[in-house]
Amino acid sequence: MIIIDGGMSRELQRVGAPFRQPEWSALALMQSPQHVKQVHTEFAAAGADVITTNSYALVPFHIGQARFEAEGAALATLAGQLARQAADASPTPTLVAGSLPPIFGSYRPDLFNPDRAADYLAVLIAGLRPSVDLWLGETLSSLAEARTVLDLAKPNGKPVWISFTLMDESGALQYPPRLRSGETVAAAASWAAEANINAILFNCSQPEVMAPAVATARQTFLASGCTTPIGVYANAFQAHNAEKANVDLTALRPDLDPASYCAWADRWVAAGATIIGGCCGIGVDHIRALSRHVKKKDLLF
């Protein structure tokens, strides 16, 4: 079992880092990088085998076109360095995943432009490349986004993980499980098998939709003889309108404490997941409990 870290933004708030929209988690990188390193260090100490660079908001959508052109490359380099320093200082082996985010806003497959996305992603990849062990295209809402990330990241010779966000709005908890674009998880898994990515994951969606997605991906892989690992890192958001995901600080669910999150993880593992972590609202305490919980089970079985 591989444990990845949790959500960066709420943990930055917790430790007192500057935080606001539209810059989101990028603000701490620009104004208080020591807080970014602190959160990375805490996640590694909590048992995360993989920590993720704080590069999710390093896109014009969040920091503006002018700042991205002037500072984007340097900020991406800094994001990679901070994660690398925390990983190297960890007493246990810790990998660094380079976060490659949706360029035009979370949950907005309708805004995707592959040519513009490629230009922006190339800047992030160049800055992060010296520091990361693998690439993590995350919170991707469509296969088009995933293909673009893979095309740019794969030539760098490092493993590529692709993580999709799922439809989870009120009334959307239905079968078959779907990406936010409306494409099916089965179609995404078929693409993953053909593209030979190193792992497929599902993130930034409510816990309830994850097990069906994992089970669907696993069934698709079994049918094709694919052995690609499957992962989950859910968020702790209350039900909300996806269109507001890039505007408001979404309220968190009170029922997703560390113990209950571990119970959800049991369902994902039972469905076939071998990589587990957390997204928005899932913090250091959750990852500590999760690490102890699943590694304890590994010893038992």
The predicted structure's pLDDT at residue 175: 85
Rounded Cα–Cα distance for residues 162 and 72 (Å): 22
The predicted structure's pLDDT at residue 301: 42
Assign residue 111 the CATH number of its domain: 3.20.20.330
**What is the model's pTM?**
0.95
How is residue 154 annotated by DSSP? G
Task: Compute CA 70 distance to the chain's CA centroid, rounded to the nearest angstrom.
Answer: 26
Is residue 299 pLDDT above 90, yes or no? no
What is the tens place of the pLDDT at every residue in 85-113? 999 999 999 999 999 999 999 999 999 99
81-86 own/partner pairs: CB under 8 Å, 24+ apart: 81/131, 82/29, 82/33, 82/36, 82/37, 82/40, 82/53, 82/54, 83/40, 83/51, 83/52, 83/53, 83/54, 83/131, 83/132, 84/131, 84/132, 85/37, 85/40, 86/37, 86/40, 86/41, 86/44, 86/51
What is the tens place of the pLDDT at every residue in 100-152? 999 999 999 999 999 999 999 999 999 999 999 999 999 999 999 999 999 99
What is the tens place of the pLDDT at every residue in 231-259? 999 999 887 655 555 556 778 899 999 99
- Domains held by the chain: number: 1
Cis before 176? omega within 30: yes
Which pair of tokens denotes residue 214? Answer: 């994992």
User: Residue 237, SS3?
Assistant: strand
**Other beta carbons less than 10 A from residue 18's beta carbon:** 13
* Residue 84 pLDDT class (50, 70, 90 cuts): very high
| Domain residue limits at 27 | 2-300
